[in-house]
Structures are given as structure tokens and as C-alpha cells.
Amino acid sequence: MKKRNLTYSLAINEATYQMMKKNKNVFVIGQGVKSPWYVGNTCQNLLKKFGPKRVIDTPIAENVINGIGVGAGIAGGRAIVVHPRMDFMLYGLDPIINEAANWQYIFAGQSSAPVIIRSIINRGGEQGAQHSQALQGIFAHIPGLKVVAPSTAYDAKGLLISAIRGNDPIIYIEDRWLYGQEDNVPEETYNIPIGKGIIRKLGKDITIIGLSYAMVNILKAVEELKKQKIDAEVIDIRTIKPLDINLIIKSIKKTGKVVIVEAAWKSGGVSAEIASQISEKAFSYLKKPIKRICLPDTPAPTSKILEKAYYDYISPEKIIKTVKNIIK
């Protein structure tokens, strides 16, 4: 495959374009999709190429937008529903949780409701409590939904293509802080299997597990730890649900020590689920207690100074300090 550098946001754009070109039933619907800057260039030029019948810019009506996406999936279409802010997706949970997630079960597998819900975490920039929330834990709790959270441009493209080609309702979580991250991305279409994590770095001293934006800070921390003769193994789960717990257990058998990093709240989050499964399935391999690095259980502050302190809870420095304390 021919590769070249591509940003995370443009990788999403390319995957969307390629799948819309291959399948006339694929369409994009959501707020701001005709104004590429509004969704970080992830819908760049799609309106020009496919027209307003397949790139549908909507009013602010989250419940209706999700309902259209779910209904289209049931009828044979394939909607990519775009929510520029995850926070306001809460207005549209009914079609996702009550309908799409349950559809296959209710109809004994004879019918499905495939839809891709692109849910964007739009944190930072002094936006405050109602515009900064990472709510993946809510969707990970729901049977029937698959939840992915790519951390690289390569994964962003491959996982979106897999989601569109699949037959399930997918919550596709993006962190806007990743949009400018570059990676080597093939020009061709390719799949990354949903439900499979990846080892970003092999190591023997400790296992660090993360997802989405947290991987940026983890990899920075690991470079510094390497200089201090600490050899960390890094696992990017990529898919929140189903979780690739076997990959995690294999690493823990080797290292015996675990740190989980999530750029979200600690209570009831994805980090808690990972820690719980490790305790149930790999407790005998642990040499030290599991440590979690997450945001504090408080809404994001608006003040610039307080906001910095808030996100410093998941900083590379915090990861380095935690790992060193465990190793000691």
C-alpha cells in the first residue's frame, strides 16, 4: 500500500469519501457537515462531490438526527451521523440506546440497525463544563453497541471503514485534540478489526494501557521513562467495546504491573471496567495494585489556570511519577 502523512481529521475525511464513492447507500448527516471547518475538516469537500442529498446539514435536533440515522440503517442505508460535541448527544440517546442497540436482539438477528455515530469530544479552550465531556463510559455500558476510540490517523481511517462495512450500531469517538496528529496512512481502503487492541511499544517492566487522546501523553511519558531505564509496554485498546482483554492479560503476565490512563472521569469509566476485568481474570499475575490516571471527578473548569491544572491530572509528568512509584 502506498502511504503518506495525513492528519487524523483528514484520515476521517478520506475514509468517508472512499466509502461514499464505493457505496451509494452511505451518506453523512449532522450539524455543520457542509462547513468543513466546523467539524475539523473531517467533511472537507464532501458536499461538493456528493451533493446535498448525501451530505445533509441539519438544524440542532440531535434526537431527530440520530433517529434518521437508525431508521436509514434498518431500511438498508448507512448513515454517518456527525455530532460536533459529544455533550449535546445526550439529547439524542433514545434512538441509539432504546432502538439501535436492541434491534438485532428484538428481531432475533433477522434485522439490524447499522449506523455510525461520530461523537466528538471538544475539550479545552476554556469551554467549561458543558462543552468538554468525555462520555464514552455511558455507551460502553449498553449491550448491542460497539464503541471505538482511535488514537492515530491510521486507526481513524481503518476503524471508520470497518464500522461502515459492518452491520452494527457503532459509537465512533473522536477527540478534537487529536485532529492535528499526523501518521503514515495508506491511500487505499483498509480495515482495522473492531475489538482488537494493539501494542504500541513492547516492554518488560510495566504495562501502560490507554485509549484515544491519552495515548499522546502515554507515549511522551514512555520516551522519558526509557531514558530512566524503565521499559514500559504500551497497549492502545482502540476498541472500548468489545474490549481486547486477552491482549491485556498477555502483557500483564509478563510485567505484573499496570497503569491505566483515560482522559475522562475516574468513577464508572472505561478505566474502571478495564481494571475490573484485570482483577477478575488476571489477579494472580499482579505484583502491585492497579493504578489509574484519570481526570478528577469534577466538571471541567472555565478558568484558563484551573483548566490547565485539571488536564495536568493526565499529563506525561503525572504518568512518569506514577510509574516510577510503582517500579520503586
Query: What confidence tens digit (pLDDT) does each residue in 38-91 have?
Result: 799 999 999 999 999 999 999 999 999 999 999 999 999 999 999 999 999 999
Length of the chain (residues): 328
Instruction: Please state, in angstroms and rounded to a whole number, the distance separating the CA atoms of residues 248 and 262.
Output: 15
The predicted pLDDT at position 192 comes to: 98
| Annotated active-site residue in 62, 99, 233, 262 | 62
pLDDT tens digits, one per residue of 199-213 = 999 999 999 999 999
Start and end residues for every CATH 3.40.50.970 domain found in the chain: 3-186
Instruction: Please report, rounded to a whole number, the percentage of residues in the chain having pLDDT higher than 90.
Output: 97
62 in active site = yes
CATH of domain 198-327: 3.40.50.920
Q: What angle do CA 58, 33, 127 make, to 5 degrees?
A: 90
The predicted pLDDT at position 292 comes to: 98
| Annotated active-site residue in 131, 233, 273, 307 | 131
Start and end residues for every CATH 3.40.50.920 domain found in the chain: 198-327
- The pTM (predicted TM-score) of the whole model is 0.96
CATH of domain 3-186: 3.40.50.970
Closest among 116, 126, 315, 296 to 219, alpha carbons compared: 315
Compare 127 and 37 and report the one with higher pLDDT: 127
83 in active site = no
Contact partners, residue 131, CB within 8 Å, separation at least 6 = 85, 87, 122, 123
Cα distances from 125 to residues 29, 54, 176, 185, in angstroms, run 26, 32, 11, 29
Using the predicted structure, report yes or no on whether residue 36 has a pLDDT greater than 80.
no
267-273 CB contacts, 8 Å cutoff, 24+ apart: 267/297, 268/137, 269/136, 269/137, 269/294, 270/136, 270/137, 270/140, 270/211, 270/240, 272/137, 273/137, 273/140, 273/243
Q: Hey, which residues does 204 pair with through a beta bridge?
A: none
